[in-house]
């Protein structure tokens, strides 16, 4: 294969994926490792960090992992300093850590609202602010944010999450605007509905064994008529982390099986016997 593919290599880069013990973060980290990067990750508690270390060990991937709450600036600054000392300064940051609370807005407490905003929007601010000085000095860096369908669309019960993910789209554009001059690119991945623990409640079979109404609904809105798999997002993540995307900045790239382009069809038209169902074990 020609030299062109070297543009997609992450050889020699230090990549920090936040909240990467499982789910999409683990998938991004595996893809980055297989593309040559050194992986560092954090999670919210030691149990999750240990779970992540086990997952990476199973895959033969050497990683640095530590507890760090992305909403705690002191912990984040210490994490970045420890990584610089033990692994090297961070070249690629994926602001992946996130939570969702599915509660009707009129029933949501201010505390619950703030918890979601804190992790999903303030966390990316805190972590990006921590890695920018070294990226500015090196005049090189990649910041990739975890946007969402909810960066563009609303739906019942996810007001705080949608507000955070909409804000994260604009934070992506603002980091691009302010730091593009340092050869730092900030883009976002906008996944559709992907099979991970976070979305498992939306696929849970009904007591009579029938599909969850939301499962049928989202398939009627997805031309692919299936849920995304974490593997579906790995190629885009490597692309946005690599030199191949150096002239892309401030963009949200939607990877959603076509949801954002399709008005949808009557869910009753769908034939479950022709559908691909998720093995929830695989979606961990």
| Length of the chain in terms of residues written | 284
Shortest gap between Cβ of 102 and ligand GCO (angstroms)? 5
Site string for ligand NAP, 77-106 (x = CB under 6 A): -------------------xxxx-------
d(CA 46, CA 73): 18
Among residues 161, 179, 193, 254, the one annotated as catalytic is 161
**Other CB atoms within 10 A of residue 239 CB:** 18
Question: Given candidates 70, 144, 171, 237, which one binds ligand NAP under the rule CB under 6 A?
Answer: 70
H helix intervals, the chain: 23-34, 46-58, 73-86, 110-117, 123-138, 159-179, 213-220, 234-241
Residue 122 to residue 143: CA distance in whole angstroms: 15
Q: Find the part of the chain contacting ligand GCO (CB under 6 A) among 15-23, 143-151, 238-246, 276-284.
A: 143-151
Question: Closer to ligand NAP at the Cβ: 83 or 209?
Answer: 83
150 in contact with ligand GCO (CB under 6 A)? yes
Annotation marks residue 179 as catalytic? no
Applying CB under 6 A, among 25, 52, 191, 228 the residue interacting with ligand GCO is 191
Asked if 43 is part of the footprint of ligand NAP (rule: CB under 6 A), the reply reads yes
Can you tell me whether residue 88 is helix, strand or coil? Answer: coil
If one counts every other C-beta atom within 10 angstroms of the C-beta of residue 139, the result is 10
The reply on whether position 192 binds ligand GCO by CB under 6 A is yes
> In the structure encoding, which two tokens stand for residue 174, read together?
């603002």
Q: How far is the CB of 192 from ligand GCO (least distance, A)?
A: 6
- Among ligand NAP, ligand GCO, none, the one that 168 touches (CB under a kind-dependent 5 to 8 A) is none
**Residue number with CB closer to ligand NAP (24 or 135):** 24
Size of the site for ligand NAP (CB under 6 A): 29
Angle at 26 between CA 154 and CA 100, to 5 degrees: 25
Alpha-carbon gap, residue 144 to 188, rounded angstroms = 5
19 binds, among ligand GCO, ligand NAP, none (CB under 5 to 8 A by kind): ligand NAP
For residue 227, the Cα-to-chain-centroid distance in whole angstroms is: 16
**Strand-pair category, 141-146 with 38-43:** unpaired
**Interaction residues for ligand NAP, span 7-26 (CB under 6 A):** 18-19, 21-25
Catalytic residue list = 161
- Summarize as ranges the residues that interact with ligand GCO (CB under 6 A): 100, 102, 148-150, 155, 158, 161, 191-193, 198-199
């Amino acid at each position: 294969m020609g030299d062109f593919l070297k543009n997609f290599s992450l050889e020699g880069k230090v990549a920090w994926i936040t909240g990467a013990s499982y789910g999409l973060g683990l998938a991004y980290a595996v893809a980055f490792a297989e593309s040559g990067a050194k992986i560092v990750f954090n999670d919210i508690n030691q149990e999750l960090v240990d779970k992540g270390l086990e997952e990476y060990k199973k895959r033969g991937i050497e990683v640095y992992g530590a507890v760090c709450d992305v909403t705690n600036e002191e912990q984040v600054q210490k994490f970045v300093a420890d990584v610089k000392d033990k692994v090297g300064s961070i070249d690629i940051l994926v602001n992946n850590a996130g939570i969702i609370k599915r509660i009707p807005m009129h029933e949501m407490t201010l505390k619950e609202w703030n918890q979601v905003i804190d992790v999903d929007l303030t966390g990316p601010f805190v972590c990006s602010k921590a890695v920018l000085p070294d990226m500015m000095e090196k005049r090189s860096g990649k910041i990739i944010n975890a946007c969402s369908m909810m960066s563009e669309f609303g739906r019942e019960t996810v007001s705080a999450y949608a507000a955070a993910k909409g804000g994260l789209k604009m934070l992506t554009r603002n980091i691009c605007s302010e730091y593009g001059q340092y050869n730092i690119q900030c883009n976002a991945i906008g996944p559709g509905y992907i099979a991970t623990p976070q979305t498992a409640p939306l696929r849970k079979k009904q007591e009579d064994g029938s599909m969850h109404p939301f499962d049928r609904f989202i398939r009627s809105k997805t031309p692919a008529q299936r849920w995304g798999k974490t593997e579906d997002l790995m190629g885009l993540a490597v692309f946005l982390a690599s030199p191949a995307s150096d002239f892309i900045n401030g963009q949200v790239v939607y990877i959603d099986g076509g949801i954002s382009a399709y008005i949808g069809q009557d869910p009753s038209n769908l034939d479950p016997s022709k559908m691909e169902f998720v093995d929830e074990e695989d979606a961990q």
